[in-house]
Each structure stands twice: as structure tokens, then as C-alpha cells.
A and B are shown apart, each in its own frame.
Chain A
Amino acid sequence: MGDIVAFLSDFTIRNVLLGAALLGISSGVLGSFAVLRQQSLLGDTLSHAALPGVCLAFMVTGSRQLFSTMLGALIAGSLAALIISVLTWRSRLKQDAAQGIVLSSFFALGIVLLTAISKQNNASQAGLKHFLFGQAAAILPEDVMLMTLLTALALLIVYIFWRAFKLISFDRAFAASLGLPLNSLEMLLSGLIALAIVIGLQLVGVVLMAAMIIAPASAARQWVRRLEPMILLASLFGMLSGILGALLSSLGKGLATGPLIVLVASFFVLISLMFAPERGILWARLKQLQEQRNLREKQVLYDLYQLSLNHDDPSYPSELGMLRSYYGFNVKNALKGLLAKDWVRPEKHMPEEGLHYVLSERGYQEAKRFADSFADGFMVDERLV
């Protein structure tokens, strides 16, 4: 216990945890809008596009101060968003191509600048590469301050434009009919996504920041339908990913923080995809199995009923082997279900023959009700007529 307290009061660790939490909040909130507007890959593009901004900031100021780095990245990201818009509005290129073009050309510029910087043989340039994959340990108290301010700024803007953002995310056409300035609002949202990316730069790095925009929001979407809880949950997932990832990376020497944070976030996505109520793959699969079993039981029940009708005998005994060869699938489970519901009962018809099944009184009524429900004749089973 004392260890944990000492660990948590460690200066660096505290900064890292705070930073990670801020990162999670900002990317969770803005990522939710990006995911809902099917602009997820904008996050991908803008995060790669931040690299030349990072490099230019270093070239201009000669230092790795987070403020100038963030400013450079923000400018590069916003410029990238602007170019994507110009390319899609003013040419026949589609969204995906425009994103790919901007992503790769900005990154190429970043790499060119990175090599140019490394030729200058400056001692602090080595740290510049940490912006590719993030480095939690390098985070300073003033960095945390800066991240707090930027997160607050982003949240404030979202708060002010809440209704407009919500509307353009869910019903763009309606928003347009109300006369909202769609293009400006969309540019503002893109700018905010660039801001969220900038906030995560130090911890996650430019290459993987895209995942932090997309993963927490996608995970949250599985659990809830409404925007407000989605944003809260996305922030929570983002925060937890940031904190857990940063903690894990502090355990081993030389572990880049970005990949670990992204892996934790991916884990949340996996859990959500599997287990979220209603939408979870597991529940869907269980429900499917359940329905399959119900359908088979109904089918067997109905056929037993038709057999008894055709033989004018409400308790006509059908032999297990006959039923088996008739269906071609394992009829035993279906019969077990019917037995459990007390809709059929087993009967030993003749000593030398196998087990037979007979409709019970309740089963007969149930089957009759079922048959009557489509008695208009459009579902007559021709095998039995």
C-alpha cells in the first residue's frame, strides 16, 4: 500500500496520469463527433499531418517546448483540414483520396524536415522523434498546465456550439434547412479535432493519435444510443486507456507510450463489441442460437401436429428414428426442449421398436394455435399434405 502511495505521489507519474486523463477527455468528446459524422479518418489524416508542424516549430524556436510544438502541430493540422476541404469542393477528387493525399504529402514533408533537422546535429533533436510514438516520461508540469488549458478551451467551444454540432452530426440536411453555416461549423469541428490531436501529441505521438480519436468513441457507441452518454463514456474510455497505457509504459524501460495506450483503447473496443448489451456480438450470437432452437422446436411440434391430423389421431406416436431421418438435423435437442415444456411426452409404442413421441394435450393446443396463426394457407407445409 505504501508503495502505491509513493508511486502515485511520484512527480512524473502524477503528471503522466493527469496528462493521460486530459488526453482521454478531449479525444473522447471530439472523437464522438468525428465517428458519428463518419469522419473518423479525418483524425487519422490530421494526426499524420501534424508532423511537419512539429518539425517546423522546432526549426523556428530551436527547442522542444510543448507550447511551440503544439502551436505548430495545430497550424499544420488546420491547414491539412482546409486543404482536404478545398480538394473535395473544388475538384472531382473524393473524400478518401483527398485524405490520403493530404496525409501522405504532409507526412512526407515532415520526414524531409526531420532529416533536415537531424543534419544540423542539434543535441535536442533526438527527442523530436518521440513525437512519432509518444513519450510519457518526458511530460512536464507546465505541459500538463497547457494540456488542461487546451482541453478546457476545446470543451468550452463544444459547449457553446453544442446544439449546432449535435444537429450536423445527426441530421445534416435538417441543419442545412435551418440555415446553419454548415461549412464553417464543419471546419470548426475539424479544427477542434486537430486540437484534440495536439493535446495527445506528447503522450501518444502523431502516428497513433488517430486511434485515440476513433477507438474510445466507437467503443462508447456500442453501449448507448444518445449523444450525451456516448460522449461521457467515450471520455471515460479515453481516460482509462490513457492512464492504463501510461502506467504500463512506465513499468518497462524504453516502451513507447503511444502503442500501449492504443492497445488498451483497442481492448475497450473489443470488449464493447463483444459484450455491450443489445449490440454486443456475444448477445447477438446467443439470441441467434435461441431463435434457432425455438424455430426447430416449433417445426417439430408443427410436424407432429400435422402427422396426428393426417392420421386422425391426436396422440399419434411418431418414432424418433423416423423424425431424425426426416429432418436431417439432430432432432433430439428440439425434442428435449419440447419435453421440458411438457408439449410432448415419450411413449413406448411397441416393444421391438424405438422410442416414440406423442403430443401432450397442451402441446396439441399450442400446435393448433400455431397452425391456426397461418391457417390462411400461405404457409402450408407441402411435404405433409
Chain B
Amino acid sequence: MAMLNQILNNPDVVIVLVGALVSVASSLLGCFLILRKASMLSDAISHAILLGIVLTFLLTQNQNTPLFVLGAALTGLLTVILTESLAQSGRVKYDAAIGIVYPFFFALAVLLINLFARNVHLDTDAVLLGEIGFSWLDTTSLGALEVPTSLLKMSFVTLLNLAFILLFYKELKLSTFDRALSAALGFSPFILHYALLSLLSLTSVVAFDAVGAVLLVAFVIIPPSAAYLMTDSLWRMLVIAGVVGVGSSLLGYLSALALDVSIGGMMALWTAFFLALAFLFSPRYGLISRYYQGLREKERNAKRMLLVHLFNHENDPESHQENAVSALKHHLRWDKAHIRNLIMQGLDEGLIHKNPNDQLFLTPKGRLLAQEVLAPWEYSAKL
């Protein structure tokens, strides 16, 4: 117990843990948001909840009331409702509706802070930047344990999000990928959507102290996006996003210590780094592998073209001319190196053979492949 206490009151451990929990809790929800093409709602919510926080503070004059969570979560929900009803009214488009509602709430909040809450801890910098570095200061007694409050709160939120996703995994998946079917089967996409966004508001307000409004957006969107580039399976996406989040928290903390800069900022930058890795190197969707896929595809097509050319002229009286290596350069407009490469490959794979006069002939296997290209409904080369 004493050891556990020691661990839980070690600032380094607490900061990394809080960061990891923030990113896991956010990216769990973020996966569904980016699949629903609604990721900018997280930007709107995380800015707008500031109004809820300020109003709660002004009404209660108390900085430590649990009402903060309620006030902020309600504001988050109100933002979404206002945005969506504005968009549904047809007077402004969805993207403009987001950009009208949340800046209004945020501007109001900043003004109220300027006017009434100048001298309290609610200053505007903390709002944007957060202070995860102080997350270990405030503790709560839990029996014999002294647990940092922010750790406790974030654990609760993370578990809540996890429970929601595990319980409604099937429904969430269905309503994300096929909204119409989900509605037809009686799972209201509307209720699930709002449940998801309510949890996002809740997560935002609890994570707010730690990372601030804007960095939260990084944790909601970037790890799931990186995961989205890595896999096609939803549960793998959730797991990868979580791993990216936890890794970024750890690396972010270490590098922030080394450089003596903002911890939350570094954590967010590491998520961006992982995204860049996925963008470049993802086995299926990465830039590099897509480039090579393109090259391979081109090669494959060239080979098929060669076979079809040979096949078309096989029984020509001119075939000894047409199917000579030297003729390919003119007929298929390929350069010499490319032709040599293709012929080597064809020979290797047993598709063609070459006589001493540099004339090319199809093997039975090569002929079958050419026939398959020309009439796939009759031939199957099964290569």
C-alpha cells in the first residue's frame, strides 16, 4: 500500500498516467467521430465548454464544485444541438454552423473571464494550454490511498467511455457505417450520436485542466486518424489509437522535460509524429507502399500487354517480325531496358521462351494468361 502510495504521488508517473488516460479516453470516442466525418465537432465542443465552466463559476463562486462537469457538459451538448439545428434549418451549411456557434460561445466565455474572473485561476492562458504539469498536486483520499484527483477523474471518464463502447459496440458500429440500416433496425442513430457527443463533452471538461481546449482536439482526432491509416478493422483501430495515445504521452513527457517546454504540447506533437509515420509507412494505405503498389500494378499490366501482343501475332504470317525482341520497341513503345526486364521476368516465370534469333514465343502457360486477359469469362489461368 505504501508503495502504491509512493507511485501514485510520484509526479512523473502521475503526469504520464493522466496524459495516457486523456488520450485513451479521447481517442476511443475520436475513432467514431472521424468515421462519422464529424471530427470538427470535437473542436467546437472543446472550445465551447469554456462557457459552461465560466458560467458555473460565476453562479457558484466556487472553483471546486462538481457542478463544473454538469455545466460544461450541458454547454457542449447545447453547442452540438444549436449547430445541428442551424444546419438543418438550411440557412447555413454544416461547416459554417460549426464555425458560427462555437466562436460565439468561446468569445462570450473569454469576455466573461476578462470582466469578472480576472483574478482567479480561470485565466485564458490556462484555458488554452492546460497545465498537466500540476496534475499531481491536488489529491483525494481513497481509504489509505492518496490519489491525485485528476488521475481519479480521468480514470473514471476513461472507464465510462470504455464501458459505453463495449456495451454498444455493435450498435455504434452499425450506426457509423450504415446509418439507414441502423435506423431501420430500430437503433436510433440520433440517440447514439448524442450519447457519443455527451461523452465527448464530459471527457473534454475533465481533460480540460490537463491539456486545455485545443490540445484536446489533437488527442481526439490524431491517434484515431493514424490508426485509420493502419487498419480496416474497427476494433484494431480502437486499439492502435489507444497505443498511439499512450506512447505519445510517455514520449511527450520525456521530450518536454528534456526541452523544458509545454508537456501537453509535446504530447500532441508526438501524436502528429505517429500520424506522419502512418501516412508514410502504413503497409496498406501509406504513401510509400501505395507508390510501390502503383509500380507493381504498372509492371503487371506491361507483362500482360506483352503476352497479349505475342498472342495476337502468334499465327500471323508476319509473326517472325512482330514477335522479335527488336520490334517490341516500336510496337509497344517501351524503352530497351524495360523490354529486357520484362522478357527476363517472362522467361523466369515460364510464360515465354526465346529462340536464338531473338524471336519470342508463348509457352502454354503464357498463352493461357493472354487468353484470360482477352476473354476472362472463358479462361482462367489461376496463376
Instruction: Please report A residues at the B interface, Cβ cutoff 8 Å.
Output: 35, 38-41, 43-44, 48, 87, 90-97, 99-101, 103-105, 107-116, 119, 129, 132-133, 207-208, 210-211, 213-215, 217-218, 221-222, 252, 254-256, 258-260, 262-263, 266, 269, 273, 279, 281
Sample of 12 more A-B contacts, CB < 8 Å, known A100-B217, A259-B114: A41-B40, A90-B287, A92-B228, A93-B229, A96-B34, A99-B39, A103-B43, A109-B265, A116-B260, A254-B114, A259-B107, A279-B91
Q: How far is the CB of A283 from chain B (nearest CB, A)?
A: 12
Bound state CA distance, A271 and B329, in angstroms?
A: 71
In the complex, the 7 A-B pairs of residues with the closest C-beta atoms, listed nearest first: A211-B103, A108-B268, A104-B218, A105-B272, A100-B221, A214-B99, A259-B107
Is chain B's interface secondary structure helix, strand, loop, or mixed overall? helix
| B268 neighbours in A (Cβ, 8 Å) | 104-105, 107-108
Bound state CA distance, A129 and B126, in angstroms?
A: 12
Residue of A nearest to B278 (CB): A91
Residue of A nearest to B229 (CB): A91
B93 touches A116 (CB 8 A): no
A interface footprint on B99-128 (CB within 8 Å = 1, 0 otherwise):
110011011101100110010000011001
Instruction: Say whether B264 faces chain A, with CB atoms less than 8 Å apart.
Output: yes
| B206 neighbours in A (Cβ, 8 Å) | none
B115 touches A255 (CB 8 A): yes
CB interface residues, B 243-264, toward A, < 8 Å? 256, 259-262, 264
Listed residue (B118, B220, B266) with the most chain A CB atoms within 10 angstroms of its CB: B266
Instruction: Say whether B89 faces chain A, with CB atoms less than 8 Å apart.
Output: yes
Bound state CA distance, A91 and B38, in angstroms?
A: 18
Q: How far is the CB of B2 from chain A (nearest CB, A)?
A: 35
Residue of A nearest to B273 (CB): A105
Bound state CA distance, A48 and B102, in angstroms?
A: 14
Picked from B39, B92, B229, B261, the residue with its CB within 8 Å of the CB of A100 is B39
Picked from A48, A133, A215, the residue with its CB within 8 Å of the CB of B100 is A215
16 A-B pairs in the complex with CB atoms less than 8 angstroms apart: A40-B99, A48-B214, A90-B279, A97-B221, A97-B228, A107-B215, A115-B261, A116-B260, A119-B261, A208-B106, A208-B107, A211-B103, A215-B99, A217-B96, A259-B114, A263-B111
Bound state CA distance, A291 and B42, in angstroms?
A: 40
Picked from A38, A94, A111, A113, the residue with its CB within 8 Å of the CB of B215 is A111
Asked, given contacts A40-B98, A104-B218, A105-B272, whether A259 binds B110 with beta carbons under 8 Å apart, the answer is yes
Bound state CA distance, A96 and B217, in angstroms?
A: 12
A96 touches B103 (CB 8 A): no
CB interface residues, B 274-314, toward A, < 8 Å? 275, 279, 285, 287, 290
Instruction: Say whether B222 faces chain A, with CB atoms less than 8 Å apart.
Output: yes
Asked, given contacts A111-B215, A119-B260, whether A269 binds B114 with beta carbons under 8 Å apart, the answer is no
Listed residue (B40, B115, B215, B256) with the most chain A CB atoms within 10 angstroms of its CB: B40
Bound state CA distance, A39 and B289, in angstroms?
A: 30
| A103 neighbours in B (Cβ, 8 Å) | 43, 214, 217
B114 touches A100 (CB 8 A): no
Is chain A's interface secondary structure helix, strand, loop, or mixed overall? helix
B269 touches A254 (CB 8 A): no
| A95 neighbours in B (Cβ, 8 Å) | 37
Picked from B34, B100, B215, the residue with its CB within 8 Å of the CB of A269 is B100
Asked, given contacts A48-B214, A108-B215, A112-B265, whether A43 binds B42 with beta carbons under 8 Å apart, the answer is no
A273 touches B111 (CB 8 A): no
Bound state CA distance, A341 and B43, in angstroms?
A: 55
A211 touches B269 (CB 8 A): no
Listed residue (B115, B228, B261) with the most chain A CB atoms within 10 angstroms of its CB: B261
B99 touches A207 (CB 8 A): no
| B214 neighbours in A (Cβ, 8 Å) | 48, 103-104, 107-108, 111, 207
Q: How far is the CB of B164 from chain A (nearest CB, A)?
A: 21
| A44 neighbours in B (Cβ, 8 Å) | 40, 43, 98-99
Instruction: Say whether B129 faces chain A, with CB atoms less than 8 Å apart.
Output: yes
B111 touches A260 (CB 8 A): yes
B92 touches A221 (CB 8 A): yes
Picked from B98, B104, B110, B215, the residue with its CB within 8 Å of the CB of A41 is B98
| B217 neighbours in A (Cβ, 8 Å) | 100, 103-104, 107
A interface footprint on B342-380 (CB within 8 Å = 1, 0 otherwise):
000000000000000000000000000000000000000
Residue of A nearest to B86 (CB): A273
| A255 neighbours in B (Cβ, 8 Å) | 111, 114-115
Bound state CA distance, A133 and B218, in angstroms?
A: 21
Q: How far is the CB of B117 from chain A (nearest CB, A)?
A: 12
A116 touches B39 (CB 8 A): no
Q: How far is the CB of B130 from chain A (nearest CB, A)?
A: 9
Residue of A nearest to B217 (CB): A104
| A110 neighbours in B (Cβ, 8 Å) | 265
Listed residue (A35, A100, A129) with the most chain B CB atoms within 10 angstroms of its CB: A100
Bound state CA distance, A214 and B215, in angstroms?
A: 23
Instruction: Say whether B316 faces chain A, with CB atoms less than 8 Å apart.
Output: no
CB interface residues, B 116-146, toward A, < 8 Å? 118, 124-125, 128-129
Instruction: Say whether B178 faces chain A, with CB atoms less than 8 Å apart.
Output: no
Listed residue (A119, A252, A262) with the most chain B CB atoms within 10 angstroms of its CB: A262
Picked from B42, B99, B115, the residue with its CB within 8 Å of the CB of A210 is B99
Q: How far is the CB of A325 from chain B (nearest CB, A)?
A: 37
Q: How far is the CB of B14 from chain A (nearest CB, A)?
A: 20
